[in-house]
């Protein structure tokens, strides 16, 4: 599966910000609402990128509902070699960081917005990321103060929006797209999740959440549709078990759909202007 030639160049980021010295491309994964499978998509996209030969990391920016550790089968407090920086836990070849490593499973986070955004920017800057081609940031759902502040403070090569085909989901996804436009972050594409369900018993195909909503939204705003992902029980079960379906069943139809979306994401990154500020020579 590995194809090192596909590794992307370091892309331009927002005006007034400098690229991270060890990361070629930071890509935010957002949605206008919860319940569309954004974190599941982020986790499987990260593993799919790694399978395509990309050095990848995943930052769980959902302070109030961190799910990346459980989905990646990771637990325990990360090590800190100098009591300042943090070694990112790794699974399936992916560097990760999440507030979930630092709190108990049942501990609620009752921080206000500024504390949450400060924690996320600290994770971004103080984690000892490997020399990464792509860092995916799994944003919290919605378009509020936390999301807006993070997209203004973190240097982004672009964003990916996750939606379902359902009209109410695409309505909220449009708000996310407009938020990224507002902060001058290019939308690299839309991922339509839960697009089609195939009955495991009889093979009957149903579009439980409507049909073509992501495609219509992509056409309306002139952004690519990176992929339409299936709704199937294995994706949920493998996520709950801590082994994403892209790793557990790499040849499955679902895993192939994630890799196709990841491949199209790389194609869109290849179109981005190169960063004008030099970063570590090992990344060039």
Check the annotation: does 35 bind a ligand.
Answer: yes
Check the annotation: does 84 bind a ligand.
Answer: no
Separation between Cα atoms, residue 72 and residue 59, nearest integer Å: 12
Cα 80 from chain centre: 25
Around Cβ 127, how many Cβ atoms within 10 Å? 20
Separation between Cα atoms, residue 283 and residue 138, nearest integer Å: 23
Separation between Cα atoms, residue 79 and residue 101, nearest integer Å: 10
Q: Which residues contact 118 (CB under 8 A, 6 or more apart)?
A: none
Separation between Cα atoms, residue 112 and residue 106, nearest integer Å: 19
Check the annotation: does 33 bind a ligand.
Answer: yes
Separation between Cα atoms, residue 172 and residue 139, nearest integer Å: 15
Query: Residues in the chain, how many?
Result: 284
Residue at token pair 């769980």: 60
Separation between Cα atoms, residue 216 and residue 113, nearest integer Å: 33
Check the annotation: does 162 bind a ligand.
Answer: no
Check the annotation: does 239 bind a ligand.
Answer: no
CA atoms 280, 54, 42, 143: torsion sign: positive
Strands (E), the chain: 23-30, 56-60, 90-91, 94-98, 132-138, 158-163, 187-198, 205-206, 225-230
**DSSP, res 58:** E
Around Cβ 76, how many Cβ atoms within 10 Å? 8
Check the annotation: does 39 bind a ligand.
Answer: yes
Residue list for the binding site: 32-39
Known binding-site positions for ATP: 32-39
């Amino acid at each position: 599966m590995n194809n090192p030639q596909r590794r992307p160049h370091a892309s331009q980021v927002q005006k007034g910000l400098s690229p991270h010295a060890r990361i070629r491309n930071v890509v935010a994964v957002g949605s206008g609402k919860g319940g569309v499978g954004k974190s599941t998509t982020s986790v499987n996209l990260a593993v799919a990128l790694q399978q395509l030969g990309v050095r990848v990391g995943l930052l769980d920016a959902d302070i109030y509902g961190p799910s990346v550790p459980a989905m990646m089968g990771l637990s325990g407090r990360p090590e800190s070699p100098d009591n300042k920086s943090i070694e990112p836990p790794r699974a399936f070849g992916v560097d990760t960081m999440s507030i979930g490593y630092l709190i108990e499973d049942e501990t609620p986070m009752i921080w206000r917005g500024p504390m949450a955004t400060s924690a996320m920017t600290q994770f971004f800057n103080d984690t000892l990321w490997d020399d990464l081609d792509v860092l995916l940031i799994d944003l919290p759902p919605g378009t509020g103060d936390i999301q807006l502040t993070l997209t203004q403070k973190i240097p982004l090569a672009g964003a990916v929006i996750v939606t379902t085909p359902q009209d109410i989901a695409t309505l909220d996804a449009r708000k996310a797209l407009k938020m990224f436009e507002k902060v001058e972050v290019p939308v690299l594409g839309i991922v339509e999740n839960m697009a089609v369900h195939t009955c495991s018993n009889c093979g009957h195909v149903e579009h439980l959440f409507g049909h073509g909503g992501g495609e219509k939204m992509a056409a309306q705003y002139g952004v690519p549709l990176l992929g339409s992902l299936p709704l199937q029980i294995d994706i949920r079960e493998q996520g709950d078990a801590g082994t994403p379906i892209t790793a557990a069943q790499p040849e499955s139809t679902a895993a192939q759909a994630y890799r196709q979306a990841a491949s199209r994401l790389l194609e869109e990154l290849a179109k981005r202007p190169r960063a004008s500020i030099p970063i570590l020579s090992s990344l060039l």
